[in-house]
């Protein structure tokens, strides 16, 4: 019996290299592509009314183009959509109506105050197919295969860790799912100084990053109300 036990232990020991016996080295910390850009949203004293007055006004292009955006998004009953960077929830109610009782809306944000607002909105308006989600700065925190559509409106330039965030979106989306990117045209010599200083890169760079994350470019949709923004569609491979 002792010989058998010794033989078994020896056999097991031979199958483990010294490296396997060591603890794995911690992963290197992610490097932000735009440090500090999200600081205002992480403020525990964030003033909701201030952001409503900035986001939900006619001077904001995507607010004026809201109906055109909804039309071109082509949501269908039963769709599950992630509104990534939902903010004050401009699109939450129309998304809820568009996907219907068999669909779902995940309203994601990194700002706890915005997530709290969406929860109150869903309760007051009886939006029973809406789930507010406090996501991470490098992970949308949704289950694999849980969404058909990812909507990123005026938010991608706020992704501090785009590769990691896109990987989490890719994982959460079903094959063939749709990713819609709306962001600011950044053209030196043409775009406003605010855009040049605030938005880290132009449309081609953002498109390349999304394609490298496993999404296929489908088309650029023309929105008549857009002068500073663009609307790109991708499909998950």
Domains of the chain in sequence order: 61-236 (3.40.50.150)
State how far the alpha carbon of 129 is from the alpha carbons of 32, 67, 77, 83, 118, in Å: 34, 21, 12, 13, 12
pLDDT of residue 24: 56
Positions of the chain with pLDDT under 50:
1-21
Taking only the tens place, the pLDDT of each residue in 1-35 is 433 333 333 333 333 333 344 555 566 789 999 99
pTM higher than 0.85, yes or no? Answer: yes
Residues 6 or more apart whose CB falls under 8 angstroms from that of 219 comprise 232, 233
pLDDT of residue 108: 98
């Amino acid at each position: 019996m002792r010989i058998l036990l010794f033989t078994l232990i020896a056999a097991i020991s031979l199958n483990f290299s010294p490296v396997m016996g060591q603890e794995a080295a911690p992963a290197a910390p992610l490097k932000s592509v735009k440090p500090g850009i999200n600081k205002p949203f992480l403020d525990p004293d964030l003033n909701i009314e201030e952001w409503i007055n900035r986001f939900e006004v006619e001077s904001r292009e995507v607010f004026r183009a809201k109906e055109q955006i909804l039309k071109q998004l082509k949501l269908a009953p039963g769709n599950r959509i992630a509104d990534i960077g939902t903010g004050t929830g401009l699109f939450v109610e129309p998304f809820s109506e568009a996907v219907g009782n068999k669909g779902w809306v995940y309203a994601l944000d990194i700002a706890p105050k915005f997530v709290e607002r969406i929860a109150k909105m869903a309760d007051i308006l009886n939006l029973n197919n809406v789930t507010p989600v406090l996501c991470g700065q490098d992970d949308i925190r949704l289950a694999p295969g849980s969404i058909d559509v990812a909507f990123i409106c005026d938010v991608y330039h706020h992704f501090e860790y785009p590769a990691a965030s896109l990987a989490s979106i890719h994982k959460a989306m079903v094959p063939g799912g749709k990713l819609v990117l709306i962001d600011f045209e950044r053209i030196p010599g043409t775009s406003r100084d605010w855009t040049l200083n605030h938005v880290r890169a132009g449309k081609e760079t953002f498109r390349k990053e999304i394609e490298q994350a496993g999404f296929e470019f489908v088309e650029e949709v023309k929105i008549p109300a857009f002068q500073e923004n663009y609307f790109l569609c991708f499909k998950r491979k």
